[in-house]
Structure 1
Amino acid sequence: MGNITVWPAPAKINLSLRINGRREDGYHELQTVFAILDRGDTLTIEPRSDGVINIYPDMGFPLEHNIIYKAIKLLCGISGRSLGGDIRVDKKIPMGGGLGGGSSDAATALLAFNHIFSLGLSEEDLARAGRTLGADVPVFVRGRSAFAEGVGEKLTPVVIPEKWYLVATPKNVHISTKEIFTHPDLPRSTPKMSISEIMAAPLVNDCQELVKKIYPEVATTLSWLLKYAPSGMTGTGASCFAEFSDENTAVQAYKSLPDSICGFVAKACNFSPLGQLLEKLKSPE
């Protein structure tokens, strides 16, 4: 049908994650700061006119369960059009690591198909639709570093220092968000703070101590990172990060990673690579 295009699906880290309470519906009130990184997955898309959706490689579960497939079918329902494509996913974001890989892939699919098929949906439309796929999808749709409240749906853009991060994940450790948020020992009463207070405070993640207790590999990873720089865990794990002011120092630490830990070096960006690409595509030549 058309040209093959390549789309970034960046990773994110939570620079802070504070859990303020549990609601009657089981969801948690929280406050968090999202930093989008300049590294992540890549989606290569070749649009089809027959409405068939193929996703490669096979993820080992039914296509209908793939969040990229769900995102495209969601757009079909909203637009009333039959959208198809052959999508190849270069997966660099580890699953179950708290780096937002699935949510980012879904957001990229929403934005890419909206552009490729000229659906004309606004960022607000796509963020609202993405919320039904996952709590973090709107962050990637909007593509900006953000402060989030409520259950993660109330987003306020913030400007963060664009520092370098060594992101490290213990191998073969996959942590279920549901497992952590339903655990009886999870702290749920951290007092709310203002945006400025949270931005000025040290790195805090209310899930971190519990995850370290259940998954000693995460505790080992954090201990290793702390030898090099201020460090923390992102989301509900298992990925951790160390914060550096320059790329070279981060790379030197990366080169020393033990064999039991995989990782990458990335820079935080206030406007995501995906957002930058879309701006470029919208601009006249």
Structure 2
Amino acid sequence: MITHYWPAPAKLNLFLSIIGRRQDGYHLLQTLIQFINYGDTLIITPTHNGQIRLFTNLHGINQEQNLIIRAAKLLQRHCWTEHNTNKPGADIWLQKILPIGGGLGGASSNAATVLIVLNMEWNCALNFTALAQLGLTIGTDIPIFIYGNAAFAEGIGDKLTPAEPDEKWYLVVVPPISISTSMIFTHPLLRRNSSPRLFNKLYNIPFYNDCEPIVRKIFPIVEQHLSWLLEYGPARLTGTGACIFAEFDTEVAARYVLSKAPTWIKGFVAQGVNVSPLHRTLLIRGYLS
């Protein structure tokens, strides 16, 4: 069996509007999502023993609740019956650099990479649409990572229209906290009544995140970091946080601002990309044409 290193890139919500809430509690969104050339790395070795093993422990996350394990087992159940003695397995290692609870989509990206890679390695022969539908059952952000194109997302994040925002450079600032998505989405003061707009109109107004006021109010450390970054230009929250970002025309400009950061601020510079680094890797290795 061949072992490969596979990227699991981060994403940014360039804007995020909440236009309603379904009876099942899921929120209806309009958001523009772009990947960045920065993220986790997965090392995946297919096996013949039927076991799904993750050799990397993440603090505070039970292995069975980890989306990596859940995604692999979901695909395994979908493609093989429970009592099939010949079903394949996988040994997986995670090189984690994305912050947990940062709004960068790390867990969903990890799950999408696992679904795509094991679908190939196990010869499941599912197309991206089938994989996205499967992934949606365990995470609403997973489909966009499966399809691998920047997109205008609607519904609960599952209705995707391909988009090509400018591939800017971003300074992403990482406050030292983890924010639960469910906590923000269940907050009684969260704005849920933004007016739905056509994508071309949303794209031409100042970008905004409806989750940002609540996050800034609940977490003073996010407010602190955002206030610093706003001194250098427009900045906003990604997803439900905690990470915030500002965009620049050049890498030099982004790195210059990062060099001005006080010691209590940590962050990184990455370029926005409209094709996922995972899909670029698949293309280079001949898995996509």
Distance (whole Å) between structure 2 residues aligned to residue 265 and residue 18 of structure 1:
25
1:77-226 equivalence runs, <5 A:
77-80=77-80, 82-171=87-176, 173-226=177-230
Whether the 8 Å CA contact 2:152–2:161 is kept in 1: the answer is: yes
> Given the superposition, is the C-alpha separation of residues 24 and 283 from structure 1 closer, same or farther in structure 2, using an over 3 Å criterion?
closer
Distance (whole Å) between structure 2 residues aligned to residue 57 and residue 152 of structure 1:
29
Distance (whole Å) between structure 1 residues aligned to residue 127 and residue 288 of structure 2:
19
Give the TM-score, by structure 2 length: 0.94
Q: Where does the alignment leave 5 or more consecutive residues of structure 2 unmatched?
A: 81-85
RMSD: 1.5
Q: Where does the alignment leave 5 or more consecutive residues of structure 1 unmatched?
A: none
- Determine helix, strand or coil for the equivalent of 2:203: helix
Amino acid at match of 1:119: C
Matching of residue 265 in structure 1 with residue 264 in structure 2: no
Deviates more, 1:251-260 or 1:92-101: 251-260
Amino acid at match of 1:125: A
Residue 51 of structure 1 corresponds to 50
Give the TM-score, by structure 1 length: 0.95
Distance (whole Å) between structure 2 residues aligned to residue 235 and residue 284 of structure 1:
30
Percent identity over the alignment? 45
Distance (whole Å) between structure 2 residues aligned to residue 259 and residue 197 of structure 1:
39
Report the CA distance between 1:261 and its aligned residue.
Answer: 2.6
Amino acid at match of 1:8: P
What number of residue pairs does the alignment pair up?
283
Whether the 8 Å CA contact 2:52–2:73 is kept in 1: the answer is: no
Whether the 8 Å CA contact 1:72–1:83 is kept in 2: the answer is: no
Distance (whole Å) between structure 2 residues aligned to residue 251 and residue 91 of structure 1:
23
Deviates more, 1:262-271 or 1:275-284: 275-284
Deviation by residue 1:111-170 (Cα, 9 ceiling, x = unmatched): 111122222110111111110110000010011111011111111110110000011111
Deviates more, 1:249-258 or 1:109-118: 249-258
Distance (whole Å) between structure 2 residues aligned to residue 281 and residue 145 of structure 1:
21
Deviates more, 1:22-31 or 1:207-216: 22-31
Deviation by residue 1:162-186 (Cα, 9 ceiling, x = unmatched): 0000111111x11111111111111
Distance (whole Å) between structure 1 residues aligned to residue 218 and residue 99 of structure 2:
19
Residue 233 of structure 2 corresponds to 229
Report the CA distance between 1:25 and its aligned residue.
Answer: 1.7
Residue 71 of structure 1 corresponds to 71
Report the CA distance between 1:280 and its aligned residue.
Answer: 2.4
